[in-house]
Amino acid sequence: MSEQIYNQEEEIDFSYIENAKKPVGELGRTVLDNMNQGHAELTRWGFDHILFGDSVLDIGCGGGNALNLAMHKNPGAQYFGIDYSDIAIEKATSFNGEAVMSGRLILKKADVGNLPFEDNFFDTAYSIESYFFWPDLDGALQEVCRVLRKGGTFAIIVEMVSGNMNPTYQKIAEHMHMNVLEPDGLQKKFETCGFHEVRYDWDMAKGWLVIQGKKA
């Protein structure tokens, strides 16, 4: 989500919001462009809290800017991105064309509940502004844990946190039936689903949260 788009409750365009969940059509292309721009500062802040390993997965890669930023964190790593939107994969591919052509970045259409990777494959995985759309959060976290190596890190970065949302975000979350959790609740989910050493950093003034844990 982005304050620059949803700054007043009466201006909420729910057709836009619903497209953000799974971008389609021309509106979806606009949504992805806006996400690339609107989430950039949040993404940089979140990435400053993460140690990137040699194999990295972006879950819900959207328009591809987060992957572009991540590739600067560890230039020697192999990167992967998944999204269940065809247009998102198309956009992320064009946004990171050189990395895709070189084989440094591999993009796949896939769902977080059924990741197309073998067990113990990644050092690092992250997801930005998407977990609250996952229909089975526990199952998704267990699936992420499966594809991580022992000691591998998974991080979630968001700017919608239960108990700390402005009225616009609250109305969006209610309309979309989004599963927006408090930090402690999200931490418990991590721990229940196979992660340990779970910790979070929360900038309450901005509403930004990064939570991460290691595969036990």
The residue extents of the domains of the chain are 9-113+120-215
pLDDT tens digit string along 76-103?
999 999 999 999 999 999 999 999 999 9
pLDDT of residue 94: 97
pLDDT tens digit string along 133-142?
999 999 999 9
pLDDT of residue 6: 43
* Position 117 pLDDT exceeds 70: yes
Residue 135 buriedness (CB in 10 A; 0-12 / 13-18 / 19+): exposed
Is 3.40.50.150 the CATH number for 9-113+120-215?
yes
d(CA 26, CA 193): 37
Q: Supply φ then ψ for residue 24, to 5 degrees.
A: -140, 155
